[in-house]
Chain A
Amino acid sequence: MQFFHNFPLDLFIIQTVNGIVAGMILALVASGLTLIFGIMDVVNFAHGELFMLGAYVGVIVIAYTGNFWLALVVAAITIAILGAAIQIVTLRPLIGRDPLNTILVTFGISLILQNYALWQFGPVARRMPDPITGHFILFYLDYPWYRMVIAGLSGAIIGGFYLFLKYAKFGVWIRATTQDRVMAQAMGIPVPWVLTGVFALGAAMAAASGVLFAPLAGVDFSMGLDWVLKAFIVVVVGGMGSLGGSVVAAIFISLLESYAAIWLDPSQAVIVSFVVLILTLLFKPTGLFAAPK
């Protein structure tokens, strides 16, 4: 009884909301990563840098036009093109080689992109204003509407992507290529371009997450690594290659971290995701939430 008397219920609910918001962004990042891994067997080390560059593009577009939605679209398209270029130049030559090569190459790319950002934009973080002002009262907090919008948008993008995979022509091509690359080609599906498209799509999703996240905490050249690490953990815990699993795992881990932040220092709360990873590896290495294929 004593426990419930002291239990910070309002703080708990606030952290639940925070956890879901963070979880939705993480889900979007992880979805891109899962997509690329599930279909191309490529572990995209540079995913965090695509996220970061997307955020920077967003910052620049907003500085010029003040329009957040334009920033979102421009960032997604620009980074999608960058992603396609990366895939064509560095990953196509590696098709058929040991998949560990792709991890090395995408690692090299993350190095280049990160240092490029440092060089171009400097070490100081950039801020982005909230695109939607206004708060609502959540217990004793002025909770910004914007956060709910991000969560909603992330969900909408993931949902839209799921529908795309299921019904659109390119979506059918992607699923056919995943199941049987050889026969997909024999049916006239231009598999090399499907792979490029998939990578570009994953990159666009990373970039969109970056723009959505930017108003929350500012943009700097090193933000990529933390996100890609967490995204990897989500992908492993969610079951590598499982879109639904990634989304559930992202929210699960973010919620746990939010709750941990009630008692722990934020920089230590990140240990929660590591612990979840360790437990998953020990007891269910195929993934806690892996959907049956």
Chain B
Amino acid sequence: MTRHMTRHDKIYWAGFAVVMAILIVAPLVLPEFWRRFLTEVLIWGLLAMSSDLLIGYTGMISFGHSAFFGLGMYGAAAALLLVSPPNLWLAIGLGLVGAAAAALFVAYFSTRLRDIYFAISTLIFSQIFYVIIFTWTSLTGGENGLIFSRPHFSIPFLVDARFTTTTLHWFVLAVVTASYLILRRITQSPFGMVLQSIRENEARTRAIGFSVQHYKIVAVMLSGLFAGLAGVLYGIQNEFVAPNFVYFITSGDTVIFNVMGGIGTLVGPILGAGFFQLLHELMSRVFGDQFPYLIPLGFIFIAMIIFLPQGLLGFARRWLNK
């Protein structure tokens, strides 16, 4: 089914192209630190975007994304440590499997509950994963985490190259962009429409005849998959995984990125992640490393919830979703 390019579409894709161009060229002109910074922002952005599927489109706040992120990370680490030479695609695959398993577990129990109870239970479940990873030292390296080497970018018979900071950035950019497009397609599909209907009025959606819980489970799993993907990318970039990434703080940060950037926009959370990390970096530079940057950031977060609940990109929410 083809669709004529409306004026909206033209502006949207033009804007998309401009942003992509900037992000592709960026590593070529930025110093090393900022190159890595930008890549990390993209990874956090992917994590936040995955969470937006739940918060912004289904109306479910999850405090459990640290589990999906963490298991994606550890799954990748497992692949990279167990198989020699370390294989990128295996790492991604195993990471996604790990995240999917965590998501299925959380989804099965948590989706029985609504609203606040759902949020709390996701938090508790992610802490379960944290405790398991932290204490099962023989399997996960416990507190110390795991170290491994970054895999090559290899496609059999075509290419086998080490990642440089720049090429890794492009790879991450490609993955994040593809994820965005896929998620966008999902939110605009009939499935996505049902999710949004659940957000608007769950009782009515159920009354119409949709099996709400099944839709919620699928939503949590999709969200978990992309969060796990972000975890894989993070592990690959840093060549290191540790339990503290599975700790609740990661979930909390994710929610902050969502709220600051604007829920229900998919790109908003990426901007939120960037905004947050940038403020963090600026405060470190101006006030020193020991400065409790989370205190002013916390105030900004609270102020945004009260006065600007739609977030930075919230004003463009309808437009971005058309």
A and B touch in the complex (CB under 8 A): yes
Chain A residues with CB under 8 Å of chain B are 43, 90, 93-94, 97, 99-101, 103-105, 107-109, 111-112, 114-116, 118-119, 225, 229, 232-233, 236, 240, 265, 267-268, 270-271, 274, 277-278, 281-282, 285
Highest count of chain A CB atoms <10 Å: which of B116, B125, B256: B116
B residues 97-140 near A (Cβ < 8 Å) are 109, 112-113, 115-117, 119-121, 123-125, 127-128, 131-132, 134-135
A-B contact pairs, 14 of them (CB 8 A): A101-B309, A104-B305, A105-B305, A109-B302, A111-B294, A115-B292, A115-B298, A118-B292, A119-B295, A236-B117, A236-B121, A267-B131, A270-B131, A277-B124
Among A99, A109, A233, contact of B115 (Cβ-Cβ < 8 Å): A99
In the complex, are the beta carbons of A112 and B127 less than 8 A apart?
Answer: no
Least CB distance from B274 to A in Å reads 19
* Cβ of B91 under 8 Å from chain A: no
Residues of B within 8 A of A97 (CB): 309
* Cβ of B248 under 8 Å from chain A: yes
In the complex, are the beta carbons of A100 and B131 less than 8 A apart?
Answer: no
Give me 13 other A-B pairs in contact (C-beta within 8 A), A116-B292, A116-B295 excluded. A99-B115, A108-B299, A108-B305, A109-B302, A111-B301, A112-B298, A112-B299, A115-B298, A225-B248, A268-B131, A271-B128, A277-B121, A285-B112
In the complex, are the beta carbons of A240 and B109 less than 8 A apart?
Answer: no
Residues of B within 8 A of A104 (CB): 61, 255, 259, 305
In the complex, are the beta carbons of B295 and A90 less than 8 A apart?
Answer: no
The chain B residue sitting closest to A120, CB to CB, is: B292
In the complex, are the beta carbons of B109 and A107 less than 8 A apart?
Answer: no
In the complex, are the beta carbons of B115 and A278 less than 8 A apart?
Answer: no
Interface size on B, residues (CB 8 A): 35
Least CB distance from B82 to A in Å reads 26
* Cβ of B252 under 8 Å from chain A: yes
Closest 6 CB pairs of A and B: A112-B298, A119-B292, A108-B302, A111-B298, A115-B294, A108-B301
* Cβ of B306 under 8 Å from chain A: yes
If the complex has contacts A229-B127, A267-B135, A271-B128, are A100 and B301 also in contact, measured as CB distance less than 8 A? no
Majority secondary structure of chain B interface residues (helix, strand, loop or mixed): helix
Residues of A within 8 A of B124 (CB): 229, 232-233, 274, 277
Least CB distance from B201 to A in Å reads 13
In the complex, are the beta carbons of B306 and A90 less than 8 A apart?
Answer: yes
Residues of A within 8 A of B109 (CB): 278, 281-282
Among B117, B252, B294, B309, contact of A112 (Cβ-Cβ < 8 Å): B294
Least CB distance from A194 to B in Å reads 21
Residues of A within 8 A of B255 (CB): 104, 107
- Bound together, the chains give a CA A265 to CA B134 distance in angstroms of 13
If the complex has contacts A109-B298, A109-B302, are A103 and B116 also in contact, measured as CB distance less than 8 A? yes
- Bound together, the chains give a CA A81 to CA B256 distance in angstroms of 27
Highest count of chain A CB atoms <10 Å: which of B252, B292, B309: B292
The chain B residue sitting closest to A275, CB to CB, is: B128
Residues of B within 8 A of A229 (CB): 123-124, 127
- Bound together, the chains give a CA A278 to CA B113 distance in angstroms of 12
B residues 255-308 near A (Cβ < 8 Å) are 255-256, 259, 292, 294-295, 297-299, 301-302, 305-306
The chain A residue sitting closest to B115, CB to CB, is: A100
